[in-house]
Copies of this chain bind each other. A is one copy, B any other.
Amino acid sequence: MAEYMTETTQRPAGAGGAAATPAGPPGEEHGEARALWSVGRQRSGSADTADGHDAPAILDRARSVVDPELRAAVASLPAALRRIARYHFGWEHADGTPAAEHGGKAIRPALVLTAAAAVGGPEARTAAARAAAAVELVHNFTLLHDDVMDRDATRRHRATAWTVFGDPAAILAGDALQALALRVLAQDPHPASPAAAARLAACVVELCEGQQADTALERRDPREVTLGEVLAMAEAKTGALLGCACALGGLYAGAAEDDVEALDAFGRQAGLAFQLIDDVIGIWGDPGRTGKPAGADLAARKKSLPVVAALTSGTPAAEELATLYARPYREGETERTTLAVERAGGRDWAQTEAADLMGRAVGELARAVPDPVRAGGLLALAEFVTRRTS
């Protein structure tokens, strides 16, 4: 699964309908998507909302709530599995000595807590701490397994667990984290925990479906892959858990069934918008910011969303791109390939689609949380993840 957590704030594609512009500074106002909100956000940060609307602050606060739960859950593992999990989370080096944390930015737990607060206020947020930890455990279980399957050697700037401990250890640590997630919920006395567990387990099945579709797509002839397939794959692989995080927050706050579904749709569409922008950055992002060489995704013949949109555009540039993708990458071809995707409309399509999705996401959010002040935290998080780089 892709990572949302980075330090920089370049904006390669405009969320909420704005045209792509150069990156703004980190502290820049999050204006675009909010403009879609039916009510202005003049009251942002006012005293009637317990949560501020500053995404980095929300994420910091979520980490401070969820980290103790996560560490307690991992501490309950048998020694051999605990070691692998602690390494994976960035808490320890491979030899078991403490490490400066490289863990994720905790966007998923932040969505759980912020959705709970949006629906039920500060008490609901406090009560949802274990649900937030469970979602983060599931996320990390999928990372461990995806890295094994995709043979990815690096994660969060460190060697992946399977490269350090071997495939069986990484598979088993992932299995154990999934079990821990469901155990954390099963042991939570909160009345919403059984419904949350059922929803999280169903989400795991969807995440597996997405990863299965991804590995199958990578083996297929690029000319036979449809845009609908890739969008469905990205929704299952990336959107589903963000949607589930928001839905769990709603469940823990006692939201009505329709509102839980609207929160799920909000997170799901924001997640898909994120994936589109992540794919755009993978092609047109600044290598100095992304940390990946320019054109790495194209050289690997990745069937990312802009690429499949380009391939299926019926344009002459689509033909050229198909010819390039039909043979292995040759040194120095990055610019030509990038240009073919762009000329075939892959970039424009991805940016427009991301903006549309953010618009729809905001609409779902407005349905579940009509008060824009209460909804501000979730909106800030959605904008944060769709403005990131790398």
Residue numbers in B under 8 Å from A166 (CB-CB)? 215
Q: Please, what's the 1-or-0 string for A63-107, where 1 marks a CB less than 8 Å from any CB in chain B? A: 000000000000011101100000000000000000000000000
Knowing A186-B197, A211-B168 are in contact, say whether A178-B180 is a contact too (CB < 8 A).
no
Which residue in B171, B178, B194, B216 is a CB contact (below 8 Å) of A186? Answer: B194
Q: Please, what's the 1-or-0 string for A145-186, where 1 marks a CB less than 8 Å from any CB in chain B? A: 100110000000000000000111101111110111011011
Instruction: Determine how close the nearest CB of chain B comes to the CB of A69; give it in whole angstroms.
Output: 15
Residue numbers in B under 8 Å from A180 (CB-CB)? 201, 205
Q: Which residue of B lies closest to A197 (CB)?
A: B186
Assess the A77–B171 pair: CB atoms within 8 A: no
Number of A interface residues at 8 Å Cβ cutoff, please give it: 44
Which residue in B179, B187, B194, B213 is a CB contact (below 8 Å) of A205? Answer: B179
Residue numbers in B under 8 Å from A194 (CB-CB)? 186-187, 193-194
Compute how far the CA of A193 lies from the CA of B195 in the bound complex, rounded to whole angstroms. Answer: 12
Instruction: Determine how close the nearest CB of chain B comes to the CB of A232; give it in whole angstroms.
Output: 10
Assess the B197–A81 pair: CB atoms within 8 A: no
Knowing A179-B205, A186-B198, A194-B193 are in contact, say whether A168-B78 is a contact too (CB < 8 A).
no
Knowing A186-B198, A198-B186, A202-B183 are in contact, say whether A176-B80 is a contact too (CB < 8 A).
no
Residue numbers in B under 8 Å from A167 (CB-CB)? 149
Residue numbers in B under 8 Å from A78 (CB-CB)? 205-206, 209, 212
Is A208 engaged at the interface, CB distance under 8 Å to the other chain? yes
Residue numbers in B under 8 Å from A182 (CB-CB)? 182, 186, 197, 201
What copy number does this chain have within its complex? 2
With most chain B CB atoms within 10 A of its CB, the pick from A175, A187, A198, A215 is: A175
Is A204 engaged at the interface, CB distance under 8 Å to the other chain? yes
Knowing A209-B80, A215-B168 are in contact, say whether A187-B198 is a contact too (CB < 8 A).
yes
Instruction: Determine how close the nearest CB of chain B comes to the CB of A97; give it in whole angstroms.
Output: 21
Compute how far the CA of A119 lies from the CA of B198 in the bound complex, rounded to whole angstroms. Answer: 28
Which residue in B168, B175, B202, B209 is a CB contact (below 8 Å) of A178? Answer: B175
Knowing A80-B213, A186-B194, A193-B194 are in contact, say whether A201-B172 is a contact too (CB < 8 A).
no
Compute how far the CA of A168 lies from the CA of B215 in the bound complex, rounded to whole angstroms. Answer: 8
Residue numbers in B under 8 Å from A211 (CB-CB)? 168, 172
Q: Which residue of B lies closest to A80 (CB)?
A: B212
Instruction: Determine how close the nearest CB of chain B comes to the CB of A257; give it in whole angstroms.
Output: 15
Instruction: Determine how close the nearest CB of chain B comes to the CB of A306; give it in whole angstroms.
Output: 24
Q: Which residue of B lies closest to A182 (CB)?
A: B182
| 10 cross-chain pairs, A with B, having the tightest CB-CB distances, nearest first | A183-B201, A179-B204, A186-B197, A186-B198, A78-B209, A149-B168, A182-B182, A172-B208, A179-B201, A176-B208
Q: Please give 17 more A-B residue pairs, beta carbons under 8 A apart, in addition to A168-B211, A175-B178.
A: A78-B205, A78-B209, A80-B209, A80-B216, A145-B171, A145-B172, A145-B175, A149-B172, A166-B215, A171-B171, A175-B204, A175-B208, A179-B205, A186-B195, A186-B197, A186-B201, A187-B194
